[in-house]
């Protein structure tokens, strides 16, 4: 496998940055997906409607996506390293404030806004810019490797958070997670993470990697391209169904008689599967094309919906494991392929800003999937309608990527 660093003489530095980013995502997204167990704890303590508790997470993902265009612009101006350092501090503050929640709006303000801003500053957009900048010739593979940290976060922190909630309560669980965020991200950003040479020099080395014609993309030109809107649709529909499952799977299984710890372990198993799957999908996407990899992954996502229903009716460990395998494979594709497709289609000096706006579509899907599932449950007393809606999204998403056609990327004049 050819996996070249952005600057020939500095491959070791690129790998250090990729490894540090891996664990940054472990911490940040471990907090993100731990909300699936906080959701159950908050429902039990406050008795709020499920849509209200799920809505706090929807606010979190929507706000973090809403600021993504600005994050992309800031990353181009100041570099992703400074943003990650700032994001860790803001995320820590948001979690400490969330631990003081006594009313639903407290949760929305502290976790849904403050922590979301920290997530936007320190999370996905700056990480994609780092991976793309250090490894321009293998974008999907590089993003797949570093995004494996998200899977580690799900594998480790979701069950650990459930254990903390059982031992010391959800408030202290939030405080401990806040301490973990600042304890890792501050020294990592100061000592290990380094901006790509292209960011320091105010250029885009990926222009040379993918062809000089791609350097002419601007945000205005991207808005005029149908491919931009198709790729935005890919992000929206793909995140809608995968995040709906990942956030509500614990509640769904607990509703159907599975213990909270067992359901948390299933969520952790999803993370374990996704670690290698993200790398594997990234390699396949670089070698065989974005569309093929994405289509295979969403076949797994569609299968996982049926397996979740079956696992809710029959609590056997084999069915739970099959569900974790299927959704872990399906969800994992969202890390390497959409950003790589965006790089294929809209590479050049304006990529960070263009990608930030595309990522906002994903935030709409993230928020819509998690909130709508809670709303449908409150309305009907069942997740059945949400699962059918998720199946529709799983079918549409790969069709939109095929329409966006990163396999036939053109400069703006060809759109």
User: Comparing 147 with 97, which gets the higher pLDDT?
Assistant: 97
pTM: 0.76
Position 200 scores a pLDDT of 54
For residue 181, what pLDDT band results from cuts at 50, 70 and 90?
very high
3-state class of 60 per DSSP?
helix
What letters, b where the CB count within 10 A reaches 16 and e where it falls short, cover 211-232? eebbbebebebbeebebbbbbb
CATH code: domain 11-196+216-414 is: 1.20.1250.20
Give Cβ neighbours of residue 277 (< 8 Å, ≥ 6 apart): 151, 328, 329, 332, 333
Helices (H) and strands (E) in the chain, counts: 19, 0
- Residue 124 pLDDT greater than 60, yes or no: yes
Dist. CA 345–CA 36, nearest whole Å: 34
Position 198 scores a pLDDT of 63
Least confident interval from 20-34, 134-148, 283-297: 134-148
For residue 10, what pLDDT band results from cuts at 50, 70 and 90?
low
Geometric angle at alpha carbon 354, from 348 and 355, rounded to 5°: 100
Position 249 scores a pLDDT of 87
- Residue 178 pLDDT greater than 90, yes or no: yes
Domain locations along the chain: 11-196+216-414
Write the pLDDT tens digit of every residue in 377-400.
Answer: 989 988 889 999 999 999 999 999
Helix, strand, coil fractions of the chain, as percent rounded to 5: 85, 0, 15
Position 412 scores a pLDDT of 59
Write the pLDDT tens digit of every residue in 256-306.
Answer: 888 888 888 888 888 888 888 988 998 898 888 889 999 999 999 999 999
3-state class of 1 per DSSP?
coil
Q: What is the mean pLDDT of residues 58-71?
A: 87
For residue 310, what pLDDT band results from cuts at 50, 70 and 90?
confident
> Are the CB atoms for 94 and 117 separated by under 8 Å?
yes
Nearest to 127 by CA among 390, 356, 315: 356
Position 292 scores a pLDDT of 93
Dist. CA 51–CA 376, nearest whole Å: 8
For residue 231, what pLDDT band results from cuts at 50, 70 and 90?
very high
- Residue 7 pLDDT greater than 50, yes or no: no
- Residue 211 pLDDT greater than 60, yes or no: no
């Amino acid at each position: 496998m050819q996996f070249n660093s952005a600057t020939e003489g500095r491959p070791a530095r690129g790998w250090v940055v990729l490894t540090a980013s891996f664990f940054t995502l472990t911490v940040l997204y471990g907090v993100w997906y731990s909300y699936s167990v906080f959701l159950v704890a908050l429902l039990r303590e406050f008795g709020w409607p499920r849509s209200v508790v799920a809505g706090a997470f929807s606010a979190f993902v929507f706000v973090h996506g809403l600021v993504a265009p600005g994050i992309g612009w800031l990353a181009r101006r100041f570099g992703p390293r400074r943003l990650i350092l700032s994001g860790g501090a803001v995320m820590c503050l948001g979690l400490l404030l969330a631990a003081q929640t006594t009313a639903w709006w407290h949760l929305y303000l502290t976790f849904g806004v403050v922590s979301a801003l920290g997530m936007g500053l320190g999370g996905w957009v700056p990480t994609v810019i780092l991976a793309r900048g250090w490894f321009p010739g293998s974008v999907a593979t590089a993003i797949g490797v570093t995004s494996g940290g998200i899977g580690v976060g799900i594998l480790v922190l979701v069950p650990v958070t459930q254990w903390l909630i059982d031992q010391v309560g959800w408030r202290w669980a939030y405080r401990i997670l806040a301490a973990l965020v600042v304890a890792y991200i501050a020294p990592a950003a100061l000592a290990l993470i380094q901006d790509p040479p292209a960011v320091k020099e105010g250029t885009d080395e990926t222009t040379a990697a993918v062809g000089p014609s791609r350097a002419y993309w601007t945000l205005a030109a991207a808005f005029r391209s149908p491919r931009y809107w198709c790729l935005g649709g890919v992000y929206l529909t793909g995140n809608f169904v995968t995040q709906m499952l990942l956030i509500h799977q614990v509640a769904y299984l607990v509703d159907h008689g599975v213990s909270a710890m067992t359901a948390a372990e299933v969520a952790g198993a999803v993370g374990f599967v996704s670690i290698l799957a993200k790398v594997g999908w990234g390699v396949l996407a670089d070698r065989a094309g974005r569309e093929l990899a994405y289509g295979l992954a969403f076949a797994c996502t569609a299968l996982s919906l049926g397996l979740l229903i079956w696992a809710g009716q029959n609590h056997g460990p084999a069915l739970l494991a099959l569900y974790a395998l299927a959704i872990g494979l399906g969800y994992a594709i969202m890390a390497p392929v959409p950003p790589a497709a965006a790089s294929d289609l809209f590479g050049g000096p304006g990529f960070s800003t263009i990608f930030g706006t595309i990522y906002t579509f994903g935030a709409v899907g993230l928020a819509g999937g998690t909130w709508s599932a809670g709303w449908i449950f409150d309305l009907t007393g069942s997740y059945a309608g949400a699962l059918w809606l998720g199946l529709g999204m799983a079918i549409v998403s790969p069709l939109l990527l095929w329409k966006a056609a990163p396999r036939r990327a053109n400069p703006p004049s060809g759109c």
